[in-house]
Amino acid sequence: MSGVQRGHYKKVRNHYIAGLPLLDFTGFARERQEEYFAAVRHGLDRNFKPMEGVFRTVIDRSMEAYGG
């Protein structure tokens, strides 16, 4: 990551939207990717429970990472 990217990341990291920090999806980048895409597919059928679980995990992780 370049210095410019790091500087931008630090600014974005501290930007809060709706009282939440920047959401951290890192766990879903590789290890839980299939879980995420399965939740998206369920959402297309209007079953949002799996996506609620994904976002619960993401929000909890984000709050822990940014001291919330």
pLDDT of residue 41: 98
- C-alpha 66/C-alpha 30 separation (Å) is 22
The span from the CA of 36 to the CA of 57, in Å, is 11
Average pLDDT, the chain: 79
The two three-digit tokens of residue 26, written as one number: 């890192």
Write down the number of H helices and E strands in the chain: 4, 0
| pLDDT (tens digit per residue) in 44-62 | 999 999 999 999 998 898 8
- What pLDDT score does 62 carry? 87
